[in-house]
A and B are shown apart, each in its own frame.
Chain A
């Protein structure tokens, strides 16, 4: 049962344009949603999060939008830069019997073309 889904395995965007990465979830009990970026041979790096009671969170070039009724969130990167090329994981955090359990999607590989 894949509770967090990233249906696009890859995405290519021109430098300077907007990158939009999408994520769907099925569990309405998630408390927070997070985005992580992963370069090859490195662990995931926390990028940005959003509480389930918010609908938008912005941090510099990165904005995450949450649509609870559609159980959908998206990460917008504007403007996209070649250094943004990485695998992006959507994750959802839930308090599960006294601990925070994080469920990850399968990732979207973003390529920003110079």
Chain B
């Protein structure tokens, strides 16, 4: 059974640009969530997708958007990048959450300059 894989591992972008981050869910997991982890902070919930629909969103502006595909893989898109968007972006998949926890990928380190 494969885990959650994210690509790329590192990325440098210029302020104002757009970025797409990718995530392949663990086999059998139909729910994917994206988190932003700033330096010294815990992961902050961005949004969650279930069966290709966004079914929950945290306190992030609309320039953060996503997609989930029929194979349950997912993308996170960020438009008009700002310096404060520099962070580790984590993808997590689950088959229902709750007390089963989530399986996280290793993350994409985004640096905006």
Contacts and interface: CB of A to CB of B under 8 A. Distances in A.
Interface of A: 4, 6, 31-32, 34, 36, 41-46, 49-51, 89, 91, 93, 96-107
B107 A43 contact: yes
B105 A43 contact: yes
Given A43-B104, A49-B99, A105-B42, A98 B90 contact: no
Contacts of B4: 43
Contact of A100 (B41, B98, B103, B106): B98
A43 B98 contact: no
Nearest to A98: B55
29 contacts: A6-B42, A34-B101, A36-B101, A41-B106, A43-B105, A43-B106, A43-B107, A44-B90, A45-B104, A89-B43, A91-B42, A93-B97, A93-B98, A93-B99, A98-B55, A98-B56, A99-B48, A99-B55, A100-B31, A100-B48, A100-B56, A100-B97, A100-B98, A101-B45, A102-B102, A104-B44, A106-B40, A106-B42, A107-B42
Nearest to B54: A99
A8 to B, nearest CB: 14
Q: Which range contains the number of B residues in contact with the other chain?
A: 20 to 34
Contact of A42 (B55, B56, B106): B106
Interface string B73-109: 0000000000000000010101011111111111100
The 3 closest A-B pairs by CB, nearest first: A46-B101, A43-B104, A104-B42
A97 B99 CA distance: 18
A100 B96 contact: yes
Nearest to A105: B42
A29 to B, nearest CB: 14
Interface in B45-88: 45, 48, 50, 55-56, 58
